[in-house]
Amino acid sequence: MLPPMQNPKDDTQASLHFRGGPIASLVPMATFLTTTVILVALGAPEVEGMILGCMLGLSLGMCLARSVGGYSDRIFTLMANRTSTVAVVCWLWAGVFSAVLAQSGLVEAIVWVGWKTQLTGSLFTVAVFISAALFATAVGTGLGTIIGFTAVMFPAGIALSADPAALAGAILSGAAFGDNLAPISDTTIISAATQETDVGGVVRSRLRYVLPASFIAILLFSLFGGGAPGTDPASAEKILSEKADPSGLPMLIPAAIVFIVAVSGRHFLAALTAGIFSAILLGATIGAFSLADIFHITADGKIGGAAVAGAMGLVPTAILTLLLVTVIGIMEAGGILARLVSLLDRIAGPSIRKAELAIVALVSVTNISVSVNTVAMITAGPLANSLRKKKNIDPHRSANLLDTVSCSFPYILPYSATIIAATSVQLDLHSQDPNIPVVPWIEQASYFYYGLVLFPVMILCVMTGWGRGQQTPIKS
């Protein structure tokens, strides 16, 4: 029989005491970060390994707690933290919606649009960036965009005189744009959740940063995105004709519904629900998929379909979120979080600019250490949230600092999942056709114009205060 748990309300207010003092409450987080750095160094930055790192950290923290019972009860209480539960619920709905759109053939439809533009060279590279950005914004997945577009647009673009490195950079840039802006993106959801604000307001306020960066990226791709003359335009025609299919274009309507409803101020969960039902209804009506493709029960009693895969695909990240929020809650209960915030507060002094620079530095270092931008924001978010409350920084502003930085240079770290995915697809294409090159990491990174522009844009915004005074504070 389990011992009775303490009253959650009272438990939340109580402090935890550790052998070694408040600094010992850092052990769970330090263990997680150490484990993650080791996984990154070994080339396996998998969420499942990070989950075990969190579990190990919490277990070691228990050994240092003066009250094992109180520490254990606090873990259960912290698991019910609103920040984590909001993120988990949003991810479940967003995962279903994204999977339904992917099932509808939307990527093939957007590829068809790019094909019919009849562009070559640098203009084709621009079209790749825009189409990848459109798809990533619709489905909210940067990684899925990289895999889908590299498989089709990369070989076709090479045959149409586009520079291979620029093509790779355009796909990465488009993926980062959508990951940064999409209301259903995991980075958008977690940046809003950790700053205790609304997704719609975050997306609206983020436009002032991402649009200038994307316009500059388009200009740079148009200037430097061309390559050698295409060796075989007929090959590009063959690739695109096999993959392109306009039948999924109407599925942009549900994506637009979610975006419009979310930024109009309606509840984000209502926007996603409307998107899911409209996507299923429209997709089944136009024949993009059958209802069995979305959900079915097999003869042996298993359940499957896009909806199931979409919801369950984010379960590991959801579990890691619950554990990380718990780890940070342990730091808060142990007193070390308040000391860290006070340290940052003293460094920043009365300066809002220095406080925002501290948030930028915090999320940058965390991204470099963790390599998964969502996990980095979950880790750095609560500390950034405490600091922004002390300095009365608008939650939209701090959420944007977290997300835009995480979708800038960290997107092309050599050990990031995005670069690994892009290179893996290129290797597969090269094995099928030796004329298709595998672009070295440094060359892909050099053409990641969206992210390389976005980071200095955010630094400029912090230094000048642009965008800071235009936001309306929202009650937490």
What are the DSSP calls for 382-430, one per residue?
HHHHHHHHHTT--HHHHHHHHHHHHTSGGGG-TTSHHHHHHHHHHHHHH
DSSP 3-state assignment of 323?
A: helix
- State the first-to-last Cα distance of the chain, in angstroms, to the nearest integer: 39
Q: What is the pLDDT of residue 39?
A: 86
Q: What is the pLDDT of residue 471?
A: 42
DSSP 3-state assignment of 129?
A: helix
Q: Is 476 exposed, middle or buried (0-12, 13-18, 19+ CB in 10 A)?
A: exposed
Question: Using CA atoms, how far apart are residues 141 and 433, in angstroms rounded to an integer?
Answer: 28
Cα 381 to the center of its chain, rounded Å: 14
Q: What is the pLDDT of residue 137?
A: 92
DSSP 231: S
Question: Using CA atoms, how far apart are residues 189 and 440, in angstroms rounded to an integer?
Answer: 32
Q: List the chain domain ranges.
A: 18-80+315-407, 85-313
Q: Cβ(199)–Cβ(87) under 8 Å?
A: no
CA distances from 13 to 123, 271, 379 (A): 59, 35, 22
DSSP 3-state assignment of 45?
A: coil
Give the chain's radius of gyration (CA, Å).
23
Which stretches in the chain have pLDDT values below 50? 1-12, 470-476
Helix (H) or strand (E) holding 77: helix 68-79
Q: Could you tell me which of 37, 140, 63 has the C-alpha nearest to residue 96?
A: 140
Q: Cβ(143)–Cβ(421) under 8 Å?
A: yes
Q: What is the pLDDT of residue 472?
A: 42
Structure tokens at 351: 């300066």
In order, the DSSP letters of 345-394 are HHHHTT-HHHHHHHHHHHHHHHHHHH--HHHHHHHHHHHHHHHHHHTT--
Nearest 5°: phi and psi at 309? -65, -40
Q: Residues 43-78: pLDDT tens digits?
A: 777 888 989 999 999 999 999 999 999 999 999 888
Q: What is the pLDDT of residue 475?
A: 39
Structure tokens at 239: 């690739």
Q: What is the pLDDT of residue 10?
A: 43
Q: Count Cα neighbours of 345 within 13 Å in the Cβ-side half-sphere.
A: 16
Question: Using CA atoms, how far apart are residues 338 and 446, in angstroms rounded to an integer?
Answer: 40
Strand partners, 55: none
Nearest 5°: phi and psi at 289? -160, 170
Question: Using CA atoms, how far apart are residues 258 and 275, in angstroms rounded to an integer?
Answer: 5
Bridge-based pairing of strands 296-297 and 303-304 is: antiparallel
